[in-house]
Structure 1
């Protein structure tokens, strides 16, 4: 269809999990050289296919280990699938693992340009948006301090401010974000709501069917790497809730 912005075709993702426990890198290499390392395949996704249309608020639900976060990382381009194909049309901002892409030895200022470059922004664009990012993060007094001296909340505030400085065509969100202190959480929620209310296409993962119902119009249900059902959000959430109630 012409308005398809994300197309996932028969996507499979395999991880080779090590059976032996290794406590450090030295022990790992010793066992590797001695051929004492044995692994087994773990299929996180098993032939998943679906399409997301322009303007969709698309929910992904499932139990822990269903493959939800793996699927988001594949769509975001963080990882490549073992098999299958993923097509994405439009600018995309993934709000995943907010601290990823930072260097602890760099200052906040330097990390803005590092993280921004990883998100695909040009240096000129980042220079234009620099003051806006710092102001939103409320880190003016710490922007030239190495990131290793930041609290986890300060790092999350900086990452959120960088990621949401533009209004993307596609927004990928892994759970509702609770960033920083109560005051900043309120500001970040307002920013998220403004993005959700725009024409952006949204992929949203949550354990809460209430949140998925509130935000999304369509959804899929994943279970142990397989797509169980897709369709209107209420139908998918009803089926998932019935399954979890029976499981309990």
Structure 2
């Protein structure tokens, strides 16, 4: 059964959510990301999706202290994955050594696919690829730039690389509670031999019910941000639907 990943997006050391990937449209939900992670853990979640938004733009870790505080707060009880600003093998090694379950490589998957392959080989099961698409085309550098690649084109480049998962974000739906783009996400999962995680737009328990449907079993799971923070998705109800509680 697919799993639900609550999301913590970091900007200026705080837990925020963006609208349509726009850094100027950030809502602060918690000034203490570590406390937010502990709250998700207490609610019954066993997975956590973290993004260093500032790092994604800067090309290097910016909210590292907040990430380390999150890891300390959950004490290994949650499988934490991190994306944003991870661009070198040294970055990958450092974060995995600090206790992350896996790192997510996004921009570098377009700019330096050989690094992704090398990291996936060196750290089996612990390297994921983040594919963020706007209008069907892959966006990079914190979603600030678009490429000519489709999400499927990019995913297929890593079909034999040993990548642990693909986090597929539909930027056009991110943070606006429009519902997950299930058709595109499931189509991607069918096109590649890599587990896919849906991201962007999850709005209500209806999306959780959709995630629990038979044809979505091909997915590893889905990420939820604003819907959890706004109370549109009840954690206990969501976990029950997914057979996790």
Shorter chain as denominator, the TM-score bin is 0.3 to 0.5
Q: Specify the structure having the higher radius of gyration (Cα).
A: 1
Q: What is the TM-score normalised by the length of structure 1? A: 0.34
Q: Which structure is richer in relative contact order (CA contacts within 8 A, separation 6 or more)?
A: 1
